[in-house]
Amino acid sequence: MQRDYVTRAIRLALEEDIGTGDVTSAVTVPAGARASGHFLAKSPGVVSGLDVAAATFREVDPRVAFIALVRDGDRVVPGDLIARVAGEARSLLAAERVALNFLQRLSGVATATARYAEAVTGTGARVIDTRKTTPGMRLMEKAAVRHGGGHNHRFGLSDGILIKDNHLAAIGGPDRVARAVAAARAGAPHTLRVEVEVTSLDELEQALAAGADVVLLDNMAVDQMAEAVRRTRGRAILEASGGITLETIRRIAETGVDLISVGALTHSAPSLDISLELTLETGDATGE
Amino acid sequence: MQRDYVTRAIRLALEEDIGTGDVTSAVTVPAGARASGHFLAKSPGVVSGLDVAAATFREVDPRVAFIALVRDGDRVVPGDLIARVAGEARSLLAAERVALNFLQRLSGVATATARYAEAVTGTGARVIDTRKTTPGMRLMEKAAVRHGGGHNHRFGLSDGILIKDNHLAAIGGPDRVARAVAAARAGAPHTLRVEVEVTSLDELEQALAAGADVVLLDNMAVDQMAEAVRRTRGRAILEASGGITLETIRRIAETGVDLISVGALTHSAPSLDISLELTLETGDATGE
Amino acid sequence: MQRDYVTRAIRLALEEDIGTGDVTSAVTVPAGARASGHFLAKSPGVVSGLDVAAATFREVDPRVAFIALVRDGDRVVPGDLIARVAGEARSLLAAERVALNFLQRLSGVATATARYAEAVTGTGARVIDTRKTTPGMRLMEKAAVRHGGGHNHRFGLSDGILIKDNHLAAIGGPDRVARAVAAARAGAPHTLRVEVEVTSLDELEQALAAGADVVLLDNMAVDQMAEAVRRTRGRAILEASGGITLETIRRIAETGVDLISVGALTHSAPSLDISLELTLETGDATGE
Amino acid sequence: MQRDYVTRAIRLALEEDIGTGDVTSAVTVPAGARASGHFLAKSPGVVSGLDVAAATFREVDPRVAFIALVRDGDRVVPGDLIARVAGEARSLLAAERVALNFLQRLSGVATATARYAEAVTGTGARVIDTRKTTPGMRLMEKAAVRHGGGHNHRFGLSDGILIKDNHLAAIGGPDRVARAVAAARAGAPHTLRVEVEVTSLDELEQALAAGADVVLLDNMAVDQMAEAVRRTRGRAILEASGGITLETIRRIAETGVDLISVGALTHSAPSLDISLELTLETGDATGE
Amino acid sequence: MQRDYVTRAIRLALEEDIGTGDVTSAVTVPAGARASGHFLAKSPGVVSGLDVAAATFREVDPRVAFIALVRDGDRVVPGDLIARVAGEARSLLAAERVALNFLQRLSGVATATARYAEAVTGTGARVIDTRKTTPGMRLMEKAAVRHGGGHNHRFGLSDGILIKDNHLAAIGGPDRVARAVAAARAGAPHTLRVEVEVTSLDELEQALAAGADVVLLDNMAVDQMAEAVRRTRGRAILEASGGITLETIRRIAETGVDLISVGALTHSAPSLDISLELTLETGDATGE
Amino acid sequence: MQRDYVTRAIRLALEEDIGTGDVTSAVTVPAGARASGHFLAKSPGVVSGLDVAAATFREVDPRVAFIALVRDGDRVVPGDLIARVAGEARSLLAAERVALNFLQRLSGVATATARYAEAVTGTGARVIDTRKTTPGMRLMEKAAVRHGGGHNHRFGLSDGILIKDNHLAAIGGPDRVARAVAAARAGAPHTLRVEVEVTSLDELEQALAAGADVVLLDNMAVDQMAEAVRRTRGRAILEASGGITLETIRRIAETGVDLISVGALTHSAPSLDISLELTLETGDATGE
């Protein structure tokens, strides 16, 4: 479940970071001192992970106030305020780094996705993600992809059928695509579409003839993809995949493929630069 | 503990990916069919995460053989074989993506670190990491930094004292650096050195006078850092920090600082391109 | 993941049953005494859960030998031996009840499924399960359904789309079926088929026109289902559902529907009667 | 602890069912739309599991209101309202199936128990349960037995001594009952009574002479049990066990035995038929 | 379950101690260097916890050899060897402190128990423990009590009935003892004996008349206990409790009470002095 | 993290104690009956663990009120009230023993520490703890040491460098102290001081010359320690360790060492005698 999943991820991250306690704050910041601050964008991008950041502070100290000033999916430019926090200074300092680590990474994914999604604007193609996600953060990264304007491929091995090169190798023979698709149609639950990876137009024909619902065109040249679209005539959904970059994605989209999957959305997106600036709230410590 | 930590991270990642089971393999790959394959470098870089990848296969199926052909920390060029795997085809297919996700990300961190470390070769400076790591992967990423030739800063809030701007704000006053260092020396366990962040040469003087063991020079200009080194005269360890890039790191190292911390090693390193190519082992299925 | 899932279920069950230890065995059975025995069918049925039973003994004591004499999915009649166990008497006694609780319940599900599956033999219809499973045992019960000759519907909310009456209520309006299907086609991942529940032939027409991949015919009369099959003309997969019993399933299957889902397979199947009879292995205790 | 135990069981069940998220609701039900509904009895029976059902909704979404309209242990007839729920439509849809799976199964156990308990009304005998419970649900099923008017035997191996046939086999010899009882009296904690299973009147005499506190009469004929009662003369508590049905229980109770244990209460009780009918609350979504 | 319980306790303790890794060994002990050593008694006492110590080393490194040279329950004098270990030096150093912490504390409990048990030798009284155990170590400490020659009272609130002063206060009235015992006999599972705490001979008479199985004599003077024994005439088991010391226990035992419970066995036993002396095995590191 | 750590420890302890439920209260104390009471000191000492005790009651029942009447670190004499509790009687009875087990043990540690700390009053020496703590309670015991006026040594193997005899054995040679210190200075993170154990003045000289930050004087005679202080001349922090008792600590402190570590603070402190006396609140049960 989503809530449990996020909670567990946050606890792991806090455990790693806090260990047996924040020694520095314990010896330099008075117990009860209060502070407040804001998260500030330092690069342009798309925000994702506000809920995770908020939950990180709550996990450390339920009395911390976290007020989002933008929504997941919103664009920010340098200088924009993203959220405010207020509470006991020691709590803010203990949660700060982990909250930023989540927020920066997820906003990085959303920002990268937005660049790819913009590049295909006006074509019918959707930018989709892959399973090349950060271990332990898949659901959060999949949400970040949506915040960036992308769509999700399957979440894992149990909610989608995708027959890849390695499965085809396990079947073997010149008609392996046809036989694999047939096997999947016979054996799989009726709730799942059957997708198969092909590397040539011949294999595409096999896949279509065997009744594939979706065909992944693996590392095809652009004109080959265009031909694939023509031959398919709407009989299956087509997904372009393999080494797609911001430079190439527009031309691929214009071939008429339905989906373009980009591993780099999650495996190589740099973090978005966001900082947290705290101010001590003077006079409050005594009132505690 | 290391072993538990890695096991838990792997289980989380497999749980995310495998869910209720690998439907595709179940319907296309015969039970008992065996396969083997190799991990292949597709970009130049430094490898890290071989143990994690091996443990991922073992977690899915203890009978899978994983043989590393290089060691963590070794350099590879495109075409180099990194490891071999062999076992039941369904097991290999179930573990493949998660093993690659770990291996590619950690190798990405090691590769980025190696670039920074090379850039300071011959100076006395060490490249060190920060707490800007992927949530849930800190220990693995810290190891990857070492594999890339870097060194580690503290692992978390409990194994090091680092008085940062936000702590200083909580103390306040023109002598806040001096007072913070004094408080830390009085209150902290004797096992930890006292490090403080300064933004000016005045603050550096305060820190030295108060007996700081380590001083972090935050976002200083290069000539200011050089001056800081002169004034310190070995009385404290000096760490340069803030927006350091491959372009600037050499000049910073040449100022004579001891340590240069680089957040990008872990927060923005792209994954190293590695693939796994499997081959069905014909004839073996019957022998099972 | 399957292995983890089963292990966790077994540990929970043993924890419940063993608590702080088996007092009776501790005071009446000598440490080191060895025993062996066999699992014996006492009613006719189909076996499921042998792996779970074996893993239960292993969890209590890895040195216990458990040898299955039949396979999951095999039919047994009263008197048939199902498996043998041998090991330290105290270990066998500690694991016995939990192993039987799993084996009897799962075999009960397989047995019930087999009865339904037999009833539709020769028609093209498949018997499928529902989400009305025992909390904490879904994957095991879904396997038991397969062992009994049935097929699985989706495993949970994330690996299938099924728009039910309550979703339709949330959309509202006379064209709610059409709009729901359209929304699902637009918003859902491309890996999942779109299934919708209908209660009338009019709604069926809406569903087909909107492009539903699968239509669930809810509580329809048999002749209404037959008419639904005629009108559909293979444009969608049809699932019959609602109050289906062993008495009615054959006639329903003969209407030509593709799938018949039966909640009772998992929510009301009585346990299969299986016993474990142990014998002390005399003379062995001293050899320990 | 009870609270933890139930929470853990609910989380496991939700994890199984929700997986990475409820796709259908995500694409067909607007975020923020609100709904309400009621749990409705569709068969006559005794309710159990209201707290578990309530906690299931709370676990998914703490803002859902769940108002029980009857109490655990109350009888219902078809058409009776059991509880109301109200909250965000997506939350209700996500929790619905798991809540029903708990409520229907536990009410099934309570209903079966009530039938047995009624059958012995007016005799001094109590209907008690066994350890033949659903793995992972023992404490909940034991409570359901109480709600149905039954009583509990031991919860597991650590809170009761019950020397069974397999323990006696491990002792061996014609005086094995006497020796087992003596061993238990000498070795067991003083807090536990000593119960032993016997299959003949001779063994009963041995048990009584050795000071057994409770004697389980295993699969005895009714007149043999009557004789056992006469011979015991109140020196021990007598429990009848083995293949007891609704048809035979009254006669057994009339022999004067104190306890009658029935495995079918938990291992073979069909679920009670209960449905949840939801209605969209129009106009509320905007107010969110 | 016992095995799980111990494993979990060991993991918690190692997690606390090892944190992100043993820095000292990492920088001073070569990887692969091997060592061996022995556990040495430095005070006289009774050993307990050998299995826990062994499992601690195995948890850190399954290749470590741990050979017990005595058994739990054996007496040792200063200079006695208790166990040998051999393995990778870093593994031994990582596990050493936690293994000793368990072994010394549990041996401390066994040693204290042995002193009390010896003091009552030849009387019929048994020394028993209480629930005043170390949080998280109850089952291990209960075993240590047995190793020291004592017996166990109940393990927790669910495997024994003990009506204490606070329960009696909740019942109230001059006949509260009688009413509490009657309520317990009516409501409790038949597997548990009914024990009640009394502070006077009058209350003892009430308890006996109401059918208490066990009576706890709370803080009674020795001659009052003797009178309690006379009046009871074997109708109930008698437990002496409250402030019992090594100085007073013999006289209490001689009154004829059956059980004497001593909280200090577990809440105040000093650790037994045991050390681990390691020797580097020269020449082995290269062979790794 | 601190909060998680304490919660987990409390849950483990409650799980051990409550098991499947508090049978005694269930059968003798009416549901809904309310009670209140106070924790009472029965020996003189220093209190620690109030937060843990409070959290224990909250964990069992969030509606219990727990009001501390003193603070951790306060001294109490027999008869002093430490805290009040009020709530449902069954909840208080279920949490009572575990709360006391924590409070008494931690107060025992604080009390022992206070005795040692008082003994060195007026000298410059600090009393510090060791890693000889109760498995699973280290952080709580370390806090208790601070409450008693002591200071903490490292929390575990990752937040401090302490080269002990066994590490030195692994280095070997007459200059092993010097080489170990040099290795640690070269390899360890810059955040940690380097501490080394020495057994002679020669080794002390080696350590100082090699740049040790802290030197542990192991089992040295008092005059040897005094000489060590003279020779060190403030170049390193000196820690006295080994068999230190209340009788010897003052003289050791007077030698001028900085730190004195005492294992007995945590491994052998007897529990502080504290009781909880409850009173039934009459008339309240009906109002529930």
| DSSP assignment of B127-195 | EE--S---TT-HHHHHHHHHHTT-B---SSTTS-EEE-HHHHHHH-STTHHHHHHHHHHHHS-TTB-EE
- Which has the closest alpha carbon to B116: B131, B127, B124? B127
Closest partner residue to F191 (CB to CB) among B153, B190, B258 is B153
Please write the tens of the pLDDT for every residue from B57-89.
Answer: 999 999 999 999 999 999 999 999 999 999 999
Per-residue confidence band for B169, with pLDDT thresholds at 50, 70 and 90:
confident
Closest partner residue to F188 (CB to CB) among E27, E104, E186 is E27
Average pLDDT over residues F201-230: 97
Q: Taking CB atoms and an 8 Å cutoff, what residues of chain B touch D19?
A: 19-20
pLDDT value of position C284? 43
Q: Touching B: which chains, 3+ CB pairs < 8 A?
A: A, C, D, E, F
Decide which of D55 and F280 is more confident: D55
Query: Is the pTM value of this prediction over 0.80?
Result: yes
**What is the full per-residue pLDDT of chain D (288 aa) written as tens digits?**
567 889 999 999 999 999 999 999 999 999 999 999 999 999 999 999 999 999 999 999 999 999 999 999 999 999 999 999 999 999 999 999 999 999 999 999 999 999 999 999 999 999 999 999 999 999 999 999 999 999 999 999 999 999 999 899 878 889 999 999 999 999 999 999 999 999 999 999 999 999 999 999 999 999 999 999 999 999 999 999 998 999 999 999 999 999 999 999 999 999 999 999 998 886 543 333
Per-residue confidence band for A282, with pLDDT thresholds at 50, 70 and 90:
low
Alpha-carbon span D248 to D225, nearest angstrom: 13
Contact state of F101 with E135 under an 8 Å Cβ cutoff: yes
Q: Touching F: which chains, 3+ CB pairs < 8 A?
A: A, B, C, D, E
Query: Which tokens belong to B218?
Result: 């935050």
Closest partner residue to A153 (CB to CB) among C153, C154, C189 is C189
**Catalytic residue at E218?**
yes
Beta carbons of C147 and C46 less than 8 angstroms apart: yes
Residue F283 in this model has a pLDDT that exceeds 90: no
**Residue A195 to residues A198, A207, B264, C136, E23, Cα–Cα distance (Å):** 10, 9, 37, 31, 50
**Where in the sequence numbering do the catalytic residues of F fall?**
97, 132, 164, 197, 218
Across chain E, what does the average pLDDT equal?
94
Alpha-carbon span A100 to A278, nearest angstrom: 13
F60 to chain D, minimum CA–CA distance in Å? 8
Please write the tens of the pLDDT for every residue from F71-85.
Answer: 999 999 999 999 999
Contact state of E183 with F27 under an 8 Å Cβ cutoff: yes
Beta carbons of B29 and A170 less than 8 angstroms apart: yes
Mutate to test the interface with F, among B163, B191, B237 (most CBs of F within 10 A): B191
pLDDT value of position D252? 98
Contact state of B19 with A159 under an 8 Å Cβ cutoff: yes
Q: Taking CB atoms and an 8 Å cutoff, what residues of chain D touch C28?
A: 163, 167, 170-171, 180, 183-184, 187
Lowest mean pLDDT among A119-123, A142-146, B4-8, C216-220: B4-8
Residue A27 in this model has a pLDDT that exceeds 90: yes
Lowest mean pLDDT among A22-31, B15-24, C2-11: C2-11
Residue F157 in this model has a pLDDT that exceeds 80: yes
Which residues are within 8 A (CB) of C75 and not within 5 positions of it... i.e. 6 or more apart? C44, C45, C46, C47, C114
Residue B288 in this model has a pLDDT that exceeds 60: no
Closest partner residue to D139 (CB to CB) among F15, F20, F59 is F20
Considering E213, E218, E227, E281, which one is annotated as catalytic?
A: E218
What chain D residue is nearest to A142 in terms of C-alpha separation?
D20
Considering A115, A132, A146, A193, which one is annotated as catalytic?
A: A132
Name the DSSP letter for residue D125.
-
Per-residue confidence band for A274, with pLDDT thresholds at 50, 70 and 90:
very high
Please write the tens of the pLDDT for every residue from E185-213.
Answer: 999 999 999 999 999 999 999 999 999 99
Q: Taking CB atoms and an 8 Å cutoff, what residues of chain D touch C184?
A: 24, 27-28
pLDDT value of position C29? 93
**Catalytic residue at C197?**
yes
What chain D residue is nearest to F16 in terms of C-alpha separation?
D1
Residue E287 in this model has a pLDDT that exceeds 60: no
Which residues are within 8 A (CB) of E210 and not within 5 positions of it... i.e. 6 or more apart? E177, E178, E179, E181, E182, E185
Beta carbons of B206 and B179 less than 8 angstroms apart: no
**Percentage of chain A modeled with pLDDT above 90:** 90
Q: Taking CB atoms and an 8 Å cutoff, what residues of chain D touch A155?
A: 19-21
Residue D217 burial class via C-beta count within 10 angstroms: exposed 0-12, middle 13-18, buried 19 and up:
buried
Per-residue confidence band for C282, with pLDDT thresholds at 50, 70 and 90:
low
CB count in 10 Å sphere of residue E69:
15
pLDDT value of position E282? 67
pLDDT value of position D286? 38
Q: For residue E35, give the 3-state DSSP assignment.
A: strand
Size of interface B-C (CB pairs under 8 A): 20
Lowest mean pLDDT among B118-122, C232-236, F126-130, F282-286: F282-286
What chain C residue is nearest to F15 in terms of C-alpha separation?
C19
Q: Taking CB atoms and an 8 Å cutoff, what residues of chain C touch D212?
A: none
- Residues paired with residue C197 on neighbouring β-strands, in sequence order: C216
Please write the tens of the pLDDT for every residue from C22-73.
Answer: 999 999 999 999 999 999 999 999 999 999 999 999 999 999 999 999 999 9
Contact state of F162 with B190 under an 8 Å Cβ cutoff: no
- Which has the closest alpha carbon to E135: E9, E50, E11? E9
Please write the tens of the pLDDT for every residue from F3-34.
Answer: 788 999 999 999 999 999 999 999 999 999 99
- Residues paired with residue E37 on neighbouring β-strands, in sequence order: E85, E278
Residue C288 in this model has a pLDDT that exceeds 80: no
Residue F288 in this model has a pLDDT that exceeds 50: no
Average pLDDT over residues C102-125: 98
**Percentage of chain B modeled with pLDDT above 70:** 97
Query: Which tokens belong to D212?
Result: 């057994």
Q: Taking CB atoms and an 8 Å cutoff, what residues of chain F touch A57?
A: none
Beta carbons of F217 and F244 less than 8 angstroms apart: no
pLDDT value of position A13? 95
Residue B287 in this model has a pLDDT that exceeds 70: no
SS (H, E, C) D155-179: CCCCCCEEECHHHHHHHCCCCHHHH
Closest partner residue to B133 (CB to CB) among A29, A93, A101 is A101
pLDDT value of position E169? 84
pLDDT value of position C280? 81
ipTM (interface predicted TM): 0.94
Give the D-side interface with E, CB within 8 Å.
151-155, 158-162, 189-193, 195, 213-214, 237, 239, 258-259
Closest partner residue to A191 (CB to CB) among C159, C190, C258 is C159
Beta carbons of B206 and B175 less than 8 angstroms apart: yes
Residues in chain D: 288
Residue F211 burial class via C-beta count within 10 angstroms: exposed 0-12, middle 13-18, buried 19 and up:
middle
Considering A164, A202, A223, A230, which one is annotated as catalytic?
A: A164
Please write the tens of the pLDDT for every residue from C164-209.
Answer: 998 998 788 899 999 999 999 999 999 999 999 999 999 999 999 9
Per-residue confidence band for A271, with pLDDT thresholds at 50, 70 and 90:
very high
F41 to chain D, minimum CA–CA distance in Å? 29
Alpha-carbon span E286 to E32, nearest angstrom: 8
pLDDT value of position E90? 95
F274 to chain A, minimum CA–CA distance in Å? 28
pLDDT value of position F259? 98
SS (H, E, C) A159-173: CCEEECHHHHHHHCC
Give the F-side interface with D, CB within 8 Å.
11, 14-15, 18-21, 59-60
Decide which of D288 and A262 is more confident: A262
**Where in the sequence numbering do the catalytic residues of D fall?**
97, 132, 164, 197, 218
What chain E residue is nearest to F162 in terms of C-alpha separation?
E24
